[in-house]
Every structure is written in C-alpha cells, then in structure tokens.
C-alpha cells in the first residue's frame, strides 16, 4: 500500500521507509506523489502539528498520509525549542548549524547536570476513509557543550542519547534507527496499526 509522507525531508523519509517497508507500506514523499501543499503548523503540540500535516496531504492526494512532527525539548529552557525546533532562533538561523549555535549560546551558563533534554516524535497516519493512528516516542539525553560526530541532522551533534552512550551524530543510520525518538514512535505506531497482523489493518 502506498502511503504519502507529509514531508520532503530525505532523512525522515529514509527512516520511515527503513521500518515501514517491512509491513508492506511503500512510503513516498510529497514531491514523488505530486503534492505541493505546505500547511501552516499552527499547533502548540507535536500531536496537533503532526495531524495538521497528515490531514492536509491526505486531502490533497486522496491517499493515506503519514506525518511526523518532532523536536528537541530542553528542561533548562522550559521545553524549548519544542515544536519550534526547525525554526529556532528566528530568521537569523537559517541552517542546522545556526540553530545549534543559538541553542548552545542559551545554555552556555547551564552546568552539565542541568542540561537534560529529550527528543520527541509524534507520528500520525490518516486515511481517506477516516482511520487515524497516533503514536509518540521519546528519547532521553542531555545537551553537550560542543559538537560530537559528523552524522545525523538537526541537533544530533549536541544531543547525547542516554541509551546509546553517544550523540545521535556518532551513530550509523541503522544504529540510530534502533534508539531514536522516531524509531520509538514508529514501533508504537506499528504496534497500534498492525499488532501481530500486517497491511490489511490499514486497507
């Protein structure tokens, strides 16, 4: 079954394909499906924004659509950047590196023991016949004082994942797919969507 990902982010699509392909789902990007909508993410939670994106794409193409809304939540910053992770720092921060610099600047006086954080991912799938599945995954960690590793994307170089014992940027993609917030959300999603069964649950 074809499922349209409400994104053109190659990293997200690769992670979803790697896991969902085992369940008979062919995940394609908006661009591959000929969908060009860019819904405004007006929600204040990951759940709200994930649903906004999935519904917009499903309505535009008439196919099942899946959306991920994810971000970093830092305890010392009262949960920032949260749902604004991709836009953190405003228009002056145009790259992942800019946003990391902005984050580290805000945390420069925060000691190591107070730099706890978590990555959060919420995955929502909606179908034209009204089915809706929502799953959330979280990965605990803390923010380092400097970058480590050359892989990953976003805040990966400064996020030290407790379960992995290193930053996300130091993990190979297949390793990250075992421990990341998105991997955890996907496992929860698969359990809700399929249980011990396969694709027919969504058809």
Q: What is the pLDDT of residue 196?
A: 52
Please give the Cα distance from 132 to 142 (Å, whole number): 33
Catalytic residues: 69
Q: Give residue-wise pLDDT tens across range 137-169.
A: 999 999 999 999 999 899 999 999 999 999 999
pLDDT < 50: residue spans in the chain: 197-200, 203
Which pLDDT value is given to residue 97?
Answer: 97
Question: What's this model's pTM, rounded to 2 decimal places?
Answer: 0.89
Binding residues for substrate: 7-12, 70, 153-156, 176, 181-182
Name which of 136, 138, 102, 147 is nearest 117 in CA terms.
138
Which domains can be identified in the chain, with CATH numbers? Answer: 2-201 (3.90.950.10)
């Amino acid at each position: 079954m074809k499922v349209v990902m409400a994104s053109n982010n190659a990293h997200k699509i690769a992670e979803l394909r790697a896991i969902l392909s085992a369940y008979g789902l062919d995940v394609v990007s908006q661009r591959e499906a000929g969908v060009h909508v860019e819904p405004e993410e007006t929600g204040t939670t990951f759940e709200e924004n994930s649903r906004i994106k999935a519904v917009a794409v499903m309505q535009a193409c008439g196919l099942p659509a899946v959306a991920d809304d994810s971000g970093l939540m830092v305890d010392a910053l009262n949960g920032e950047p949260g749902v604004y992770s991709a836009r953190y720092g405003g228009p002056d921060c145009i790259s992942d590196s800019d946003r990391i610099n902005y984050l580290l600047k805000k945390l420069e006086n925060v000691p190591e023991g107070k730099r706890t954080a978590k990555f959060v991912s919420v995955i929502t799938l909606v179908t034209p016949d009204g089915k809706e599945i929502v799953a959330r995954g979280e990965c605990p960690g803390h923010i380092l004082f400097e970058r480590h590793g050359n892989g990953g994307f976003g805040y990966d170089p400064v996020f030290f994942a407790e379960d992995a014992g290193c930053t996300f940027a130091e993990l190979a993609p297949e390793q990250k797919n075992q421990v990341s917030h998105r991997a955890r959300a996907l496992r929860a999603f698969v359990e809700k969507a399929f249980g011990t069964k396969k694709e027919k649950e969504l058809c």
